[in-house]
Amino acid sequence: MAKRGILVTGGCGFIGSHLVDRLILDGHDVRVYDILEPQVHGKKKPKYLNKNAEYIYGDIRNTRKLKKALAGIEVVYHDASQVGVGQSMYEIGKYVSHNSYGTAVLLELLISCRNRVKKLVVASSMSLYGEGGYKCPSCGIVYPRLRNEAQLLSKKWEMQCPDCQKDLLPIPTSEDKPLFPTSIYATTKRCQEEMCLEVGIAYKIPTVALRYFNVYGPRQSLNNPYTGVGAIFLSRIKNNNPPLIFEDGRQTRDFIYVSDIVEANILAMEKKEANYSVFNVGTGEPHSIFDIAQTIINITRRDLKPRILNKFRAGDIRHCYADITKIQNKLNFKPAVSFEEGMKRLIAWSSHEAARDLSSKAQKELIKRGLAE
Protein backbone atom coordinates (compact mmCIF):
# COMPACT_ATOMS: atom_id res chain seq x y z
CA MET A 1 0.00 0.00 0.00
CA ALA A 2 1.46 3.36 -1.01
CA LYS A 3 2.16 5.83 1.79
CA ARG A 4 -0.09 8.86 1.55
CA GLY A 5 -0.48 12.25 3.18
CA ILE A 6 -3.94 12.13 4.74
CA LEU A 7 -6.03 14.76 6.51
CA VAL A 8 -8.80 13.69 8.89
CA THR A 9 -11.12 16.53 9.88
CA GLY A 10 -12.75 15.70 13.20
CA GLY A 11 -9.87 13.28 13.84
CA CYS A 12 -10.05 13.74 17.64
CA GLY A 13 -13.63 12.47 17.74
CA PHE A 14 -15.03 9.03 18.35
CA ILE A 15 -14.98 7.75 14.77
CA GLY A 16 -12.19 9.99 13.43
CA SER A 17 -9.68 8.95 16.10
CA HIS A 18 -10.16 5.24 15.36
CA LEU A 19 -9.63 5.99 11.68
CA VAL A 20 -6.44 7.92 12.51
CA ASP A 21 -5.08 4.93 14.48
CA ARG A 22 -5.69 2.60 11.56
CA LEU A 23 -4.15 4.95 8.98
CA ILE A 24 -1.02 5.34 11.12
CA LEU A 25 -0.84 1.57 11.54
CA ASP A 26 -1.02 1.24 7.76
CA GLY A 27 2.02 3.54 7.47
CA HIS A 28 0.42 6.77 6.24
CA ASP A 29 1.33 10.33 7.22
CA VAL A 30 -1.72 11.57 9.08
CA ARG A 31 -2.72 15.10 10.00
CA VAL A 32 -5.77 15.87 12.12
CA TYR A 33 -7.84 19.04 12.05
CA ASP A 34 -10.24 19.34 14.98
CA ILE A 35 -12.00 21.97 17.06
CA LEU A 36 -11.95 19.85 20.28
CA GLU A 37 -15.61 20.60 20.98
CA PRO A 38 -16.01 21.04 24.79
CA GLN A 39 -19.47 19.39 24.75
CA VAL A 40 -17.79 16.20 23.54
CA HIS A 41 -14.35 16.34 25.14
CA GLY A 42 -14.85 18.46 28.26
CA LYS A 43 -11.96 20.81 29.00
CA LYS A 44 -9.13 18.36 28.31
CA LYS A 45 -7.66 16.77 25.21
CA PRO A 46 -8.72 13.12 24.98
CA LYS A 47 -6.01 10.80 26.28
CA TYR A 48 -6.38 8.38 23.37
CA LEU A 49 -4.95 10.77 20.73
CA ASN A 50 -2.37 8.98 18.57
CA LYS A 51 1.06 10.52 19.14
CA ASN A 52 2.21 9.68 15.63
CA ALA A 53 -0.31 11.99 13.99
CA GLU A 54 0.14 15.73 13.56
CA TYR A 55 -2.55 17.91 15.15
CA ILE A 56 -3.86 21.29 14.09
CA TYR A 57 -6.62 22.62 16.33
CA GLY A 58 -9.10 24.91 14.66
CA ASP A 59 -12.60 25.58 13.49
CA ILE A 60 -13.58 24.04 10.14
CA ARG A 61 -14.84 27.49 9.09
CA ASN A 62 -11.41 29.08 9.56
CA THR A 63 -10.14 29.26 5.96
CA ARG A 64 -6.63 30.36 6.83
CA LYS A 65 -5.97 27.54 9.30
CA LEU A 66 -7.71 24.88 7.24
CA LYS A 67 -5.63 25.87 4.22
CA LYS A 68 -2.47 25.18 6.24
CA ALA A 69 -3.89 21.81 7.27
CA LEU A 70 -4.38 20.89 3.61
CA ALA A 71 -0.76 21.53 2.60
CA GLY A 72 0.70 18.45 0.88
CA ILE A 73 -2.44 16.34 1.46
CA GLU A 74 -3.59 13.69 -1.06
CA VAL A 75 -6.58 12.16 0.75
CA VAL A 76 -9.17 13.99 2.85
CA TYR A 77 -11.55 12.32 5.27
CA HIS A 78 -14.19 14.85 6.25
CA ASP A 79 -15.50 13.70 9.63
CA ALA A 80 -15.84 17.04 11.43
CA SER A 81 -19.45 17.73 12.43
CA GLN A 82 -21.67 18.89 15.22
CA VAL A 83 -23.58 15.69 16.00
CA GLY A 84 -26.54 16.21 18.36
CA VAL A 85 -29.81 15.50 16.59
CA GLY A 86 -32.10 16.93 19.30
CA GLN A 87 -29.83 19.88 19.97
CA SER A 88 -29.77 20.74 16.25
CA MET A 89 -33.47 21.50 16.51
CA TYR A 90 -32.85 24.58 18.65
CA GLU A 91 -29.19 25.50 17.93
CA ILE A 92 -30.03 25.69 14.24
CA GLY A 93 -27.56 28.40 13.27
CA LYS A 94 -24.67 26.57 14.92
CA TYR A 95 -25.41 23.31 13.09
CA VAL A 96 -25.91 24.93 9.69
CA SER A 97 -22.81 27.02 10.16
CA HIS A 98 -20.39 24.27 11.27
CA ASN A 99 -21.74 21.43 9.17
CA SER A 100 -22.94 23.08 5.95
CA TYR A 101 -20.89 26.26 5.73
CA GLY A 102 -17.83 24.49 7.21
CA THR A 103 -18.01 21.94 4.38
CA ALA A 104 -18.30 24.79 1.88
CA VAL A 105 -15.04 26.26 3.21
CA LEU A 106 -13.32 22.90 2.87
CA LEU A 107 -14.61 22.41 -0.69
CA GLU A 108 -13.46 25.84 -1.89
CA LEU A 109 -9.98 25.04 -0.58
CA LEU A 110 -10.04 21.59 -2.18
CA ILE A 111 -10.81 23.10 -5.58
CA SER A 112 -7.60 25.08 -5.40
CA CYS A 113 -5.54 21.90 -4.77
CA ARG A 114 -7.60 19.53 -6.89
CA ASN A 115 -4.63 18.27 -8.91
CA ARG A 116 -3.03 16.92 -5.77
CA VAL A 117 -6.09 15.53 -3.97
CA LYS A 118 -6.83 11.95 -5.04
CA LYS A 119 -9.80 11.23 -2.79
CA LEU A 120 -12.39 12.87 -0.59
CA VAL A 121 -14.38 10.62 1.76
CA VAL A 122 -17.26 12.33 3.56
CA ALA A 123 -18.95 10.93 6.65
CA SER A 124 -22.66 10.90 5.87
CA SER A 125 -25.49 9.43 7.90
CA MET A 126 -28.53 7.15 7.89
CA SER A 127 -30.39 10.18 9.23
CA LEU A 128 -30.77 11.35 5.60
CA TYR A 129 -33.39 8.66 5.06
CA GLY A 130 -35.77 9.63 7.83
CA GLU A 131 -37.91 6.51 8.16
CA GLY A 132 -36.42 3.34 6.67
CA GLY A 133 -37.97 1.18 3.93
CA TYR A 134 -41.26 -0.69 4.59
CA LYS A 135 -43.53 -3.24 2.97
CA CYS A 136 -47.32 -3.12 3.18
CA PRO A 137 -49.10 -6.53 3.00
CA SER A 138 -51.51 -5.01 0.42
CA CYS A 139 -49.72 -2.11 -1.29
CA GLY A 140 -46.13 -3.44 -1.58
CA ILE A 141 -43.04 -1.31 -0.91
CA VAL A 142 -43.75 2.11 0.59
CA TYR A 143 -41.63 4.97 1.92
CA PRO A 144 -43.70 6.64 4.62
CA ARG A 145 -42.91 9.98 6.25
CA LEU A 146 -42.79 10.38 10.03
CA ARG A 147 -45.76 9.26 12.11
CA ASN A 148 -48.07 12.19 12.82
CA GLU A 149 -48.65 13.57 16.30
CA ALA A 150 -52.20 12.20 16.58
CA GLN A 151 -50.90 8.66 16.00
CA LEU A 152 -48.09 9.12 18.51
CA LEU A 153 -50.41 10.62 21.14
CA SER A 154 -52.65 7.58 20.78
CA LYS A 155 -49.52 5.45 21.39
CA LYS A 156 -49.85 3.43 18.22
CA TRP A 157 -46.16 3.09 17.67
CA GLU A 158 -45.88 0.91 14.54
CA MET A 159 -45.77 2.50 11.10
CA GLN A 160 -48.97 2.43 9.08
CA CYS A 161 -49.40 2.32 5.33
CA PRO A 162 -50.01 5.87 4.02
CA ASP A 163 -52.57 4.39 1.57
CA CYS A 164 -54.48 1.62 3.39
CA GLN A 165 -53.44 2.23 7.04
CA LYS A 166 -52.40 -1.41 7.60
CA ASP A 167 -49.37 -2.02 9.86
CA LEU A 168 -46.15 -2.06 7.85
CA LEU A 169 -43.21 -4.46 7.97
CA PRO A 170 -39.73 -2.88 8.01
CA ILE A 171 -37.41 -3.95 5.16
CA PRO A 172 -33.70 -3.19 4.62
CA THR A 173 -33.11 0.42 3.53
CA SER A 174 -31.11 0.80 0.32
CA GLU A 175 -29.22 3.84 -0.96
CA ASP A 176 -31.90 4.68 -3.50
CA LYS A 177 -34.65 5.14 -0.93
CA PRO A 178 -35.98 8.72 -1.19
CA LEU A 179 -34.36 11.02 1.39
CA PHE A 180 -36.64 12.58 4.00
CA PRO A 181 -34.38 14.11 6.68
CA THR A 182 -36.28 14.91 9.87
CA SER A 183 -33.87 17.14 11.76
CA ILE A 184 -31.60 20.09 11.11
CA TYR A 185 -28.68 17.76 11.83
CA ALA A 186 -29.88 15.38 9.11
CA THR A 187 -30.43 18.22 6.64
CA THR A 188 -26.89 19.49 7.23
CA LYS A 189 -25.50 15.98 6.71
CA ARG A 190 -27.43 15.76 3.45
CA CYS A 191 -25.98 19.10 2.49
CA GLN A 192 -22.46 17.86 3.25
CA GLU A 193 -22.96 14.69 1.25
CA GLU A 194 -24.48 16.39 -1.77
CA MET A 195 -22.08 19.34 -1.84
CA CYS A 196 -19.05 17.01 -1.66
CA LEU A 197 -20.35 14.83 -4.51
CA GLU A 198 -21.37 17.81 -6.66
CA VAL A 199 -17.98 19.50 -6.28
CA GLY A 200 -16.15 16.17 -6.61
CA ILE A 201 -17.86 15.38 -9.91
CA ALA A 202 -17.48 18.89 -11.32
CA TYR A 203 -13.76 19.18 -10.47
CA LYS A 204 -12.84 15.48 -10.92
CA ILE A 205 -11.92 14.93 -7.27
CA PRO A 206 -12.90 11.27 -6.66
CA THR A 207 -15.43 11.53 -3.84
CA VAL A 208 -17.18 8.90 -1.72
CA ALA A 209 -20.01 9.39 0.78
CA LEU A 210 -20.42 6.78 3.52
CA ARG A 211 -23.82 6.72 5.20
CA TYR A 212 -23.08 5.47 8.70
CA PHE A 213 -25.84 3.72 10.60
CA ASN A 214 -25.81 3.76 14.44
CA VAL A 215 -22.12 3.58 15.31
CA TYR A 216 -20.97 2.44 18.76
CA GLY A 217 -17.72 1.53 20.46
CA PRO A 218 -14.92 2.73 22.75
CA ARG A 219 -14.31 6.51 22.90
CA GLN A 220 -17.95 7.31 22.38
CA SER A 221 -18.63 10.28 24.65
CA LEU A 222 -20.25 9.07 27.89
CA ASN A 223 -20.80 12.65 29.01
CA ASN A 224 -22.59 14.00 25.96
CA PRO A 225 -26.34 13.46 26.39
CA TYR A 226 -26.92 14.37 22.73
CA THR A 227 -25.04 11.32 21.52
CA GLY A 228 -26.48 7.94 20.46
CA VAL A 229 -28.66 5.66 22.55
CA GLY A 230 -25.95 3.07 23.37
CA ALA A 231 -23.70 5.60 25.12
CA ILE A 232 -26.69 7.22 26.87
CA PHE A 233 -27.86 3.86 28.28
CA LEU A 234 -24.34 2.90 29.32
CA SER A 235 -23.85 6.20 31.10
CA ARG A 236 -27.15 5.80 32.99
CA ILE A 237 -26.42 2.17 33.91
CA LYS A 238 -22.94 3.08 35.19
CA ASN A 239 -24.62 5.65 37.42
CA ASN A 240 -27.09 2.98 38.63
CA ASN A 241 -30.03 4.59 36.85
CA PRO A 242 -32.36 2.47 34.71
CA PRO A 243 -32.23 3.17 30.96
CA LEU A 244 -35.24 5.23 29.90
CA ILE A 245 -36.90 3.82 26.81
CA PHE A 246 -39.09 5.92 24.54
CA GLU A 247 -42.18 4.38 22.88
CA ASP A 248 -42.43 0.64 23.65
CA GLY A 249 -38.79 -0.30 23.08
CA ARG A 250 -39.58 -2.34 19.97
CA GLN A 251 -38.26 0.32 17.58
CA THR A 252 -35.16 -0.95 15.78
CA ARG A 253 -31.82 0.34 14.54
CA ASP A 254 -28.72 -1.06 12.86
CA PHE A 255 -25.78 -0.89 15.30
CA ILE A 256 -22.36 -1.06 13.73
CA TYR A 257 -19.11 -1.35 15.65
CA VAL A 258 -16.60 1.43 15.06
CA SER A 259 -13.79 -0.76 13.65
CA ASP A 260 -16.15 -1.88 10.86
CA ILE A 261 -16.77 1.78 10.03
CA VAL A 262 -13.00 2.27 9.84
CA GLU A 263 -12.70 -0.69 7.46
CA ALA A 264 -15.33 0.85 5.16
CA ASN A 265 -13.33 4.10 5.15
CA ILE A 266 -10.16 2.24 4.13
CA LEU A 267 -12.00 0.50 1.28
CA ALA A 268 -13.47 3.84 0.15
CA MET A 269 -9.94 5.24 -0.11
CA GLU A 270 -8.34 2.20 -1.75
CA LYS A 271 -10.96 1.22 -4.31
CA LYS A 272 -11.71 3.25 -7.40
CA GLU A 273 -15.06 1.41 -7.68
CA ALA A 274 -16.10 3.63 -4.76
CA ASN A 275 -15.61 6.90 -6.62
CA TYR A 276 -18.54 9.32 -6.94
CA SER A 277 -20.84 6.93 -5.06
CA VAL A 278 -22.84 6.73 -1.86
CA PHE A 279 -22.71 3.62 0.36
CA ASN A 280 -24.64 2.47 3.40
CA VAL A 281 -22.34 1.31 6.18
CA GLY A 282 -24.28 -0.88 8.58
CA THR A 283 -24.54 -4.56 9.48
CA GLY A 284 -27.88 -5.22 7.81
CA GLU A 285 -29.28 -6.54 11.12
CA PRO A 286 -31.95 -4.73 13.14
CA HIS A 287 -31.85 -4.68 16.95
CA SER A 288 -34.58 -3.33 19.19
CA ILE A 289 -33.86 -0.50 21.61
CA PHE A 290 -35.11 -2.68 24.48
CA ASP A 291 -32.51 -5.27 23.44
CA ILE A 292 -29.74 -2.69 23.64
CA ALA A 293 -30.74 -1.73 27.17
CA GLN A 294 -31.10 -5.34 28.31
CA THR A 295 -27.81 -6.42 26.71
CA ILE A 296 -25.88 -3.66 28.50
CA ILE A 297 -27.58 -4.51 31.81
CA ASN A 298 -26.75 -8.22 31.35
CA ILE A 299 -23.10 -7.65 30.47
CA THR A 300 -22.59 -5.16 33.32
CA ARG A 301 -24.52 -7.48 35.69
CA ARG A 302 -26.44 -4.59 37.23
CA ASP A 303 -29.67 -5.12 39.11
CA LEU A 304 -31.65 -2.73 36.93
CA LYS A 305 -34.68 -2.94 34.67
CA PRO A 306 -35.16 -0.76 31.58
CA ARG A 307 -38.00 1.70 32.17
CA ILE A 308 -40.40 1.81 29.24
CA LEU A 309 -41.83 5.32 29.12
CA ASN A 310 -44.49 4.87 26.45
CA LYS A 311 -43.73 8.45 25.46
CA PHE A 312 -42.25 9.76 22.25
CA ARG A 313 -39.51 12.11 21.15
CA ALA A 314 -40.35 14.47 18.27
CA GLY A 315 -38.68 13.52 14.98
CA ASP A 316 -37.80 9.96 16.00
CA ILE A 317 -38.15 7.34 13.32
CA ARG A 318 -39.53 3.87 14.12
CA HIS A 319 -37.28 1.51 12.15
CA CYS A 320 -34.26 1.83 9.92
CA TYR A 321 -31.64 -0.78 9.11
CA ALA A 322 -29.24 -0.97 6.22
CA ASP A 323 -29.35 -2.84 2.96
CA ILE A 324 -25.60 -3.44 2.56
CA THR A 325 -25.71 -5.21 -0.82
CA LYS A 326 -24.04 -2.30 -2.62
CA ILE A 327 -21.00 -1.97 -0.36
CA GLN A 328 -20.68 -5.76 -0.16
CA ASN A 329 -20.71 -6.16 -3.93
CA LYS A 330 -18.72 -3.10 -5.00
CA LEU A 331 -16.18 -2.79 -2.18
CA ASN A 332 -16.20 -6.31 -0.76
CA PHE A 333 -17.15 -4.96 2.68
CA LYS A 334 -18.20 -7.37 5.40
CA PRO A 335 -18.92 -6.31 8.99
CA ALA A 336 -16.58 -8.32 11.22
CA VAL A 337 -17.73 -7.57 14.79
CA SER A 338 -20.97 -9.10 16.07
CA PHE A 339 -23.38 -7.07 18.20
CA GLU A 340 -22.64 -9.09 21.36
CA GLU A 341 -18.88 -8.89 20.88
CA GLY A 342 -19.02 -5.15 20.11
CA MET A 343 -21.14 -4.42 23.18
CA LYS A 344 -18.71 -6.40 25.36
CA ARG A 345 -15.80 -4.35 24.01
CA LEU A 346 -17.66 -1.07 24.56
CA ILE A 347 -18.48 -2.02 28.14
CA ALA A 348 -14.94 -3.29 28.90
CA TRP A 349 -13.57 0.06 27.74
CA SER A 350 -16.15 2.03 29.73
CA SER A 351 -15.20 0.39 33.02
CA HIS A 352 -12.18 2.74 33.20
CA GLU A 353 -14.09 5.81 32.07
CA ALA A 354 -16.00 8.36 34.11
CA ALA A 355 -19.59 8.83 32.93
CA ARG A 356 -21.64 11.86 33.87
CA ASP A 357 -25.29 11.08 33.28
CA LEU A 358 -26.69 14.29 31.83
CA SER A 359 -29.55 12.61 29.96
CA SER A 360 -32.30 13.96 32.28
CA LYS A 361 -31.03 17.50 31.74
CA ALA A 362 -31.02 17.02 27.97
CA GLN A 363 -34.51 15.52 28.11
CA LYS A 364 -35.75 18.59 30.05
CA GLU A 365 -34.31 20.84 27.33
CA LEU A 366 -36.36 18.96 24.73
CA ILE A 367 -39.56 18.98 26.83
CA LYS A 368 -39.18 22.72 27.49
CA ARG A 369 -39.17 23.28 23.74
CA GLY A 370 -42.08 20.91 23.01
CA LEU A 371 -39.72 18.42 21.29
CA ALA A 372 -40.49 15.53 23.66
CA GLU A 373 -43.39 14.44 25.88
Binding residue (CB under 6 A) for ligand UD1 from 106, 229, 296, 331: 229
Q: Minimum CB separation from ligand UD1 for residue 253, in Å?
A: 5
CB 209 within 8 Å of CB 196? yes
Looking at the Cβ atoms of 206 and 225, the one nearer to ligand UD1 is: 225
For 369, half-sphere exposure in the C-beta direction (CA atoms, 13 angstrom radius) is: 14
* Contact range with ligand UD1 by CB under 6 A, out of 55-63, 71-79, 136-144, 312-320: 312-320
Stretch that binds ligand UD1, among 26-34, 110-118, 143-151, 309-317 (CB under 6 A): 309-317
The residue type at 171: I
Q: In the set 359, 365, 366, 372, which binds ligand UD1 (CB under 6 A)?
A: 359
Among 253, 282, 339, 357, binds ligand UD1 (CB under 6 A): 253
**191: Cβ–Cβ under 8 A, 6 or more apart, which residues?**
99, 100, 103
Q: Does 85 engage in binding with ligand UD1 (CB under 6 A)?
A: yes
- Within a 10 A sphere around the Cβ of 368, how many other Cβ atoms? 10
Q: For ligand UD1, give the closer residue by CB, 6 or 289.
A: 289
Counting contacts by CB under 6 A, is residue 214 touching ligand UD1? yes
Q: Applying CB under 6 A, which of residues 96, 161, 186, 274 lies at the interface with ligand UD1? A: 186
Cβ distance to ligand UD1 smaller for residue 50 or 350: 350
* Of 313, 326, 330, 345, the one binding ligand UD1 by CB under 6 A: 313
User: Of 106 and 245, which has the nearer Cβ to ligand UD1?
Assistant: 245
Q: Are strands 133-136 and 207-212 parallel, antiparallel or unpaired?
A: unpaired
Q: 34, 175, 263, 316: which one contacts ligand UD1 (CB under 6 A)? A: 316
Question: Of 141-149, 225-233, 321-329, 347-355, which part binds ligand UD1 (CB under 6 A)?
Answer: 225-233
Which of 82, 125, 235, 259 binds ligand UD1 (CB under 6 A)? It is 125
In 3-state terms, what secondary structure has residue 361? helix
Q: How far is the CB of 254 from ligand UD1 (least distance, A)?
A: 9
**Total chain residues near ligand UD1 (CB under 6 A):** 22
CA-to-CA distance for 225 and 100, rounded, in angstroms? 23
CB nearer to ligand UD1: pick between 74 and 131: 131
Which residues are CB-neighbours of 216 under 8 A, at least 6 positions away? Answer: 228, 230, 231, 255, 256, 257, 258, 342, 343, 346
The whole-angstrom separation of Cα 165 and Cα 103 is 41
| Alpha carbons 294 and 305: distance in angstroms, whole number | 8
* Residue 123 and residue 77 in contact, taking contact as beta carbons nearer than 8 Å: yes
On whether the CB atoms of residues 317 and 180 are closer than 8 A, the answer is no
Dist CA 216 CA 350 (whole Å): 12
Vertex 68: Cα angle to 62 and 74 (nearest 5): 115
Interacting residues toward ligand UD1 by CB under 6 A: 83, 85, 125-127, 183, 186, 214, 227-229, 232, 244-246, 251, 253, 289, 313, 316-317, 359
